Amino acid sequence: MSDDESECCGNAGSRTPVGPWVWSAYRAYNELLREKIKKRFEAEEGPWMDQLAGLLVDLVNARWEGGRKGGKVESEVLEKLDKLLEE
């Protein structure tokens, strides 16, 4: 390894390539942080997000079945969605 290569990896004067290990450590740190953030959102926003997910499924189904039921069901779901988003 040349001096330029060791400097770019942050280990000037060392023969041990730490670049991949440092990258793995950063990745693990970010994955752990992401999981903790997900747990917080689930605890605080989970029930609201469950309602939102249900309404979005209802909206997609209303649009899919729009030819048979007309736009009335879709507009009702959109009204519910607006109310939920205002909370």
Greater confidence (7 vs 22) lies with 22
Q: Using pLDDT thresholds of 50, 70 and 90, give the confidence band for residue 13.
A: low
Counting Cβ atoms within 10 Å, is residue 34 exposed (0-12), middle (13-18) or buried (19+)?
exposed
12, pLDDT greater than 80: no
pTM of the complete model? 0.56
Spatial distance between the Cα atoms of 52 and 81, rounded to a whole number of angstroms: 7
Q: Within 10 A of 18 (CB to CB), how many other CB atoms are there? A: 13
Q: Read off the pLDDT of residues 35-69 as tens digits, 9 standing for 90 and up.
A: 999 999 999 999 999 999 999 998 888 888 776 66
